[in-house]
């Protein structure tokens, strides 16, 4: 099959981004609602096209730079859906707080493109460029509220630390290229599998690479930018940072680790274990003392990055010695499915939580946890969804977060990481405290005014969709699990 | 005779100097310049490996390709960073990184 036809979904997304920029010139100021409508309709069309056109196709493009398989199909459709949700949840916020709507939506769509490329890249240079494309979009979007000094400050911090992290990542890539002679994941696995001793320079390269990627997913000790940037960014973009950029980076890391680094995982495991333990503990402990709700959720998302890192460190069994062998592949697949499921469940819950915050912010103009007081009376539906999303993030049963944490922790303990799972469960318990503190303000504290919060049709619809998705995945995860198993099988077949 | 080691030492030094600059400098523009130094250290590392690599022509050319992409991405990143820092300067009249402290902890 022709290379270009397999890239049609990406090409359509590029065309969509540019056409939104162009349409923006030709419509008057009071008719800007056309832009998000057009974007959502087109994204839905592209999603359907992708699902129909790419399902069952497996191919390498341009000598393995991009891979078309079940794994990339799964993430491409997930990111297209995510882009649609983000645009819907931005509509009201953008109307009220931001100017230059055309640029906002088109940059958002370009970040969706970058995420799609990240999930399908099979080579380090492509991975780096798509990662940078995503980051560039996010730098602009974080600083988009031009006259808000918090947004400026968040953007400055994000771009300086992001550029630093990409320099570190690139140094790692240059070491790997120099000492292995290749940047393709498959060839790396072949070379690493055939050599018995590892060059220390190569180990430095992988460490730098992990550090650079750790910056992007906000893993401790590279997390310092996250709370500031999450607090200062416009709220829909905070949701994008917490969900999209994290999911895309983990999609990239999973493919890189599974198809490239598997022979080396036993050496890298201890680093990942330490990072996971630190991230879970510090993220959840720091969230206890926060008073700004976006900052609180930022630390909570650092904690969730820790759970995902727990999954990554469980890719190989702790008892396994010597070379990687295929007997453990089923356990590895189980863990990979767990990571993907947790990414999805955490993403849905976080999107719902941030949507609630942005609705409340629109009414009250504050983002402190005290300002949530009395929301339970003012808008019962909103607070029900908020409560559900918070329970789901904490991992309580019947919500999506429970089933995903259960799956992830089971996989990790099957691989022998009992102590790390114990830390994870303990930090989940700690996290309940600050999640319940949010609920205390919503339902128990009395509000000073009795002004009602009326939901618009758009936010009501999106909130119900996310609410139903959270409960549906929590009760009946089988359809989603089937899709995830399909993706995981496609990933491990590369070996 | 110049060996691969010379390239690696030079690149390592440049990278370390850049990292020190990022950590020690207080002016946002100087921090950006230090990051540029780090990216150029990467380029020197790549060109050194690419010259002395024992591999086929196409694998050696890959290093040069990566360098061109790094230069392009670095230029774009710098332009974006300066634009964002300019916004900060308009609102705050300072680009000292110590003054960027509305949000902490």
Interface test with A, best of B17, B60, B66, B69 (most A CBs within 10 A): B66
Q: Measured in whole angstroms, how far is the alpha carbon of residue A261 from the centre of its chain? A: 22
CATH for B4-96?
1.10.287.3510
Residue A328: pLDDT over 80:
no
Q: Do A125 and B66 touch (CB under 8 A)?
A: yes
Q: How far apart are CA A471 and CA A419, in angstroms?
A: 30
Residues from chain B contacting residue A171 (CB–CB below 8 Å): 15, 38, 41-42, 45
Least Cα separation, residue B79 to chain A (angstroms): 11
Q: How far apart are CA A113 and CA A250, in angstroms?
A: 16
Residues from chain A contacting residue B26 (CB–CB below 8 Å): none
Q: How far apart are CA A177 and CA A180, in angstroms?
A: 6
* The pLDDT of residue A50: 94
Q: Do A153 and B103 touch (CB under 8 A)?
A: yes
SS3 B96: strand
Q: Which residue has the higher pLDDT, A171 or A61?
A: A171
Mean residue pLDDT of chain A comes to 90
Percent of chain A with pLDDT over 90: 67
Residues from chain A contacting residue B49 (CB–CB below 8 Å): 174, 177-179
Q: How far apart are CA A178 and CA A377, in angstroms?
A: 62
Q: Measured in whole angstroms, how far is the alpha carbon of residue B28 from the centre of its chain? A: 14
Q: How far apart are CA A9 and CA A32, in angstroms?
A: 26
ipTM: 0.95
* The pLDDT of residue A298: 94
Q: Residue A66 — φ and ψ, nearest 5°?
A: -120, 145
User: What b/e readout covers B15-45, taking b as 16+ CB neighbours within 10 angstroms?
Assistant: beebbebbeebeebeebbebbbbbbbbbbbb
Residues from chain A contacting residue B76 (CB–CB below 8 Å): 136
Residue A1: pLDDT over 60:
no
* The pLDDT of residue A61: 85
Q: How far apart are CA A205 and CA A178, in angstroms?
A: 10
> Any idea which residue has 């990662």 for tokens?
A131
Q: How far apart are CA A434 and CA A296, in angstroms?
A: 8
Residues from chain B contacting residue A167 (CB–CB below 8 Å): 15, 18, 35, 38-39, 42
Q: Which residue has the higher pLDDT, A61 or A319?
A: A61
- How would residue A42 be classed by pLDDT, with cut points 50, 70 and 90? very high
Spell out the domain ranges in chain B: 4-96
Which of A132, A149, A160 has the CB atom closest to B92's CB atom?
Answer: A149
Interface test with B, best of A171, A199, A204, A209 (most B CBs within 10 A): A171
Q: Which of the 8 DSSP states describes residue A316?
A: S
Own/partner pairs for B62-65, CB < 8 Å, 24+ apart? Answer: B62/A125, B62/A177, B62/A182, B62/A183, B63/A177, B63/A178, B65/A125
Average the pLDDT over A83-110 and give the result.
92
| Residue B45 neighbours by CB under 8 Å, 6+ apart | A171, A174, A175, A178, B7, B8, B11
> Any idea which residue has 């789901």 for tokens?
A392
- How would residue B98 be classed by pLDDT, with cut points 50, 70 and 90? confident
Residue A110: pLDDT over 90:
yes
Mean residue pLDDT of chain B comes to 91
Q: How many CB atoms lie within 10 A of CB A171?
A: 27
For the purposes of burial, counting CB atoms within 10 Å of the CB of B92, is it exposed (0-12), middle (13-18) or buried (19 or more)? middle
* The pLDDT of residue A495: 47
Which of A156, A164, A171 has the CB atom closest to B84's CB atom?
Answer: A156
Average the pLDDT over A87-91 and give the result.
93
Q: Do B104 and A177 touch (CB under 8 A)?
A: no
Q: Do B81 and A152 touch (CB under 8 A)?
A: no
How many CB pairs below 8 A link A and B? Answer: 118
Question: What interhelical angle do A101-120 and A8-26 show, nearest 10?
Answer: 170
CA dihedral A305, A308, A310, A315 (to 10 degrees): -150
* The pLDDT of residue A321: 56
Q: Measured in whole angstroms, how far is the alpha carbon of residue A494 from the centre of its chain? A: 24
Residue A376: pLDDT over 60:
yes
Average the pLDDT over A474-480 and give the result.
92
Q: What is the CA radius of gyration of chain B?
A: 17
SS3 A321: coil
Question: What interhelical angle do B57-92 and A124-142 show, nearest 10?
Answer: 10
Residue of B nearest to A165 (CA): B35
Residue A39: pLDDT over 50:
yes
Q: How far apart are CA A114 and CA A132, in angstroms?
A: 8
Domain of residue A400, residue span? 3-492
Average the pLDDT over A115-126 and give the result.
93
Which run of H or of E encompasses A114?
helix A101-120
Sequential DSSP letters for A194-259: H-SS--HHHHHHHHHHHHHHHHHHT-TTS-THHHHHHHHS-HHHHHIIIIIIHHHHHHHHHHHIII
Which of B45, B46, B80 has the CB atom closest to A140's CB atom?
Answer: B80
* The pLDDT of residue A323: 52
Least Cα separation, residue B2 to chain A (angstroms): 17
Cβ-contact A408, A310 below 8 angstroms:
yes
Q: Do A166 and B77 touch (CB under 8 A)?
A: yes
Least Cα separation, residue B4 to chain A (angstroms): 10
Residue of B nearest to A137 (CA): B80
Q: Do A143 and B42 touch (CB under 8 A)?
A: no
| Range name among A210-224, A269-283, A323-337, A374-388 with the lowest pLDDT average | A323-337
Q: How far apart are CA A450 and CA A464, in angstroms?
A: 24
pLDDT tens digits for B42-90?
999 999 999 988 888 888 899 999 999 999 999 999 999 999 999 999 9
Cβ-contact A356, A92 below 8 angstroms:
no
| Residue A489 neighbours by CB under 8 Å, 6+ apart | A70, A333
Sequential DSSP letters for A166-189: HHHHHHHHHHHHHHHS--BHHHHH
| Range name among A160-164, A362-366, A468-472 with the lowest pLDDT average | A362-366
Q: What is the CA radius of gyration of chain A?
A: 22
Least Cα separation, residue A333 to chain B (angstroms): 32
Number of domains in chain A: 1
* The pLDDT of residue B85: 93
């Amino acid at each position: 099959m022709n290379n270009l036809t397999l890239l049609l979904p990406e090409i359509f997304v590029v065309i969509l981004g540019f056409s939104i920029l162009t349409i923006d010139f030709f419509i008057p100021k009071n008719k800007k609602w056309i832009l998000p409508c057009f974007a959502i309709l087109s994204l839905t069309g592209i999603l359907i096209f992708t699902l129909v056109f790419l399902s069952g196709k497996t191919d390498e493009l341009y000598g393995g730079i991009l891979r078309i398989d079940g794994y990339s199909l799964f993430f491409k459709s997930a990111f297209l859906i995510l882009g649609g949700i983000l645009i819907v949840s931005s509509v009201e916020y953008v109307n009220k707080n931001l100017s230059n709507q055309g640029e906002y939506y088109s940059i958002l769509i370009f970040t969706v493109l970058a995420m799609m490329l990240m999930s399908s890249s099979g080579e380090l240079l492509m991975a780096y460029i798509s990662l940078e494309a995503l980051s560039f979009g996010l730098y602009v979007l974080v600083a988009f509220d031009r006259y808000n000094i918090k947004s400026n400050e968040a953007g400055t911090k994000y771009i300086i630390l992001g550029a630093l992290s990409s320099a570190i990542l690139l140094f790692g890539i240059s070491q790997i290229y120099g000492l292995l002679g290749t940047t393709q994941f498959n060839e790396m696995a072949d070379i690493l599998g055939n050599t018995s001793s590892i060059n220390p320079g190569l180990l430095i390269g992988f460490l730098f690479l992990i550090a650079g990627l750790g910056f992007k997913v906000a893993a401790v000790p590279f997390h310092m930018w996250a709370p500031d940037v999450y607090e200062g960014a416009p709220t829909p973009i905070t949701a994008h940072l917490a969900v999209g950029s994290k999911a895309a980076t983990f999609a990239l890391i999973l493919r890189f680790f599974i198809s490239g680094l598997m022979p080396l995982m036993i050496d890298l495991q201890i680093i990942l274990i330490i990072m996971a333990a630190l991230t879970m503990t510090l993220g959840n402990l720091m969230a206890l003392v926060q008073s700004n709700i976006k900052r609180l959720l930022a630390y909570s998302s650092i904690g969730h990055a820790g759970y995902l890192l727990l999954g990554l460190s469980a890719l190989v069994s702790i008892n396994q010695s010597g070379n990687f062998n295929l007997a453990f592949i089923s356990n590895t697949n189980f863990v990979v499915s767990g990571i993907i499921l947790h990414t999805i469940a955490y993403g849905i819950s976080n999107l719902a939580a941030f949507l609630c915050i942005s609705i409340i912010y629109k009414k009250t103009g504050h983002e402190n946890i005290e300002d949530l007081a009395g929301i339970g009376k003012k808008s019962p539906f909103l607070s029900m969804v908020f409560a559900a999303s918070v329970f789901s993030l904490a991992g309580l049963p019947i919500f999506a977060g429970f089933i995903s944490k259960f799956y992830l922790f089971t996989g990790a303990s099957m691989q022998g990481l009992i102590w790390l799972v114990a830390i994870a469960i303990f930090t989940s318990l700690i996290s309940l405290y600050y999640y319940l503190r949010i609920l205390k303000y919503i339902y128990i504290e009395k509000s000073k005014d009795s002004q009602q919060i009326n939901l618009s049709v758009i936010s009501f619809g999106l909130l119900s969709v996310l609410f139903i998705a959270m409960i549906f995945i929590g009760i009946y995860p089988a359809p989603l699990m089937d899709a995830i198993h399909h993706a995981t099988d496609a990933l491990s077949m590369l070996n | 005779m110049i060996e691969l080691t010379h390239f690696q030492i030079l690149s390592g030094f440049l990278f370390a100097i850049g990292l020190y600059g990022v950590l020690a400098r207080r002016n946002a523009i100087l921090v950006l310049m230090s990051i540029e130094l780090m990216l150029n250290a990467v380029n020197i590392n790549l060109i050194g490996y690419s010259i002395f690599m024992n591999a086929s022509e196409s694998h050696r050319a890959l290093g040069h390709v990566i360098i061109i992409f790094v230069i392009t991405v670095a230029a774009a990143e710098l332009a974006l960073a300066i634009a964002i820092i300019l916004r900060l300067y308009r609102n705050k009249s300072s680009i000292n990184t110590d003054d960027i402290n509305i949000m902490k902890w």
